[in-house]
Amino acid sequence: MEKLKMYEALNWASSYLEDHNREAHAAELLLRHITGLDRHTFYMELRELLTESQLEDFKKSVERHVQGVPVQHMIGYEEFFGRRFAVNQDVLIPRPETEELIWYMLERTDRIFSDKKNLHAADIGTGSGILAITMKLERPDWAVTATDLSTAALKTAKRNAETLGAGIEFKEGDLLHPLKGKSFDVFLSNPPYIPYSDIETMSEIVTEHEPHSALFADEEGLILYRKMSEQLPDHMNRPGLIGFEVGAGQGQTVAALLKKSFPNDFVEVINDINGKDRMVFCELLK
């Protein structure tokens, strides 16, 4: 078999992936996974030769990605807010824009609760646990509860919480139903919000490898926002903060749902770094 230096293999894979409508950056992630090198060492050793087995494994993994297998499922993780979260076919792969939901939430809670540290926070539809775990690790004084309808997703979330050292209370069930009798200062959710009608235009990397229950929702993707908005008045303390991630174009509709439940409070639609309406926050006044 031919001998290739790491940079030669990387260049070949990057071009090959781009030719097949895949992200070139995936080549680096796959090659680092196969060589076991961190990013700094990887770039220091780019002129080193790959072994025959490494090159063979690399080519196979690149081909699998071209065929639609997510890189994150091959390497077993995705980075989120500077931490590594295990992912698999049972959970949604974390998206970079969801980091903005956390960032804006932290900014707002620091202002709203400037004199209170021991907050109670909830994450509904936790999936891999990224929101709940990040909240707990960024604000260790908070008590964080996370729910999900999927037993398999909760298993992954619990494993991530254990690995990252985050003490989370996990509950299985639909939306806020497992939280009967509980109230919260901070509420976050990134629920399924893609209309089923969009499935035909989406990449098979998503539709064939991520759980549809974590992606798609009825009522043009809005049913879970409506249900949560109706349930939230029974679970929120004052002052309080509610934060939703939404699909592009859904911001004003979701804001109206929250405004219906909290007519005297401040509801705001926030655009993400790409200028798309991606977050809706509701600040509950005292």
User: So what's the pLDDT on residue 149?
Assistant: 92
Helix (H/G/I), strand (E/B), else coil: 14: helix
User: So what's the pLDDT on residue 213?
Assistant: 55
Write out pLDDT tens, residues 19-62: 999 999 999 999 999 999 998 999 999 999 999 999 999 999 99
Confidence check: pLDDT of 1 > 60: no
CA 242 to chain centre: 17
Q: Binding site for substrate, residues?
A: 190-193
The rounded percent of the chain whose pLDDT value lies above 90 is: 81
The Cα 281–Cα 101 span in angstroms is 9
User: So what's the pLDDT on residue 141?
Assistant: 96
Side-chain-facing half-sphere of 274: CA atoms under 13 Å: 10
Confidence check: pLDDT of 205 > 80: no
The Cα 110–Cα 184 span in angstroms is 16
Residue 115: which pLDDT band, with cuts at 50, 70 and 90? confident
Residue 258: which pLDDT band, with cuts at 50, 70 and 90? very high
CATH number of the domain located at residue range(s) 91-284 in this protein: 3.40.50.150
Mean pLDDT, residues 256-265: 97
Q: Phi, psi at residue 213, to the nearest 5°?
A: -65, -20
Mean pLDDT, residues 231-248: 96
Mean pLDDT, residues 69-92: 92
Write out pLDDT tens, residues 6-23: 999 999 999 999 999 999
User: So what's the pLDDT on residue 119?
Assistant: 97
Question: 7 CB contacts (<8 Å, ≥6 apart)?
Answer: 46, 47
Structure tokens at 264: 């005297």
Write out pLDDT tens, residues 185-201: 999 999 976 666 667 66
User: So what's the pLDDT on residue 204?
Assistant: 73
**Residue 83's CB: how many other CB atoms inside 10 A?**
17
As a residue count, the chain comes to 286
Residue 95: which pLDDT band, with cuts at 50, 70 and 90? confident
Measured CA distances, 279 to 72, 78, 94, 282 (Å):
25, 22, 16, 10
User: So what's the pLDDT on residue 92?
Assistant: 86
Measured CA distances, 16 to 20, 21, 94, 133, 192 (Å):
6, 9, 25, 36, 33
Is-contact 114 181, C-beta < 8 A?
A: no
Measured CA distances, 13 to 2, 36, 201, 254 (Å):
15, 18, 26, 42
User: So what's the pLDDT on residue 117?
Assistant: 85
Is-contact 192 220, C-beta < 8 A?
A: no
User: So what's the pLDDT on residue 286?
Assistant: 87
User: So what's the pLDDT on residue 179?
Assistant: 96
Q: Phi, psi at residue 274, to the nearest 5°?
A: -95, 5
The Cα 221–Cα 198 span in angstroms is 10
The Cα 78–Cα 96 span in angstroms is 10
Q: Binding site, residues?
A: 125-129, 148, 190-193
Q: Binding site for S-adenosyl-L-methionine, residues?
A: 125-129, 148, 190
Mean pLDDT, residues 128-144: 97
Helix (H/G/I), strand (E/B), else coil: 63: helix
User: So what's the pLDDT on residue 215?
Assistant: 56
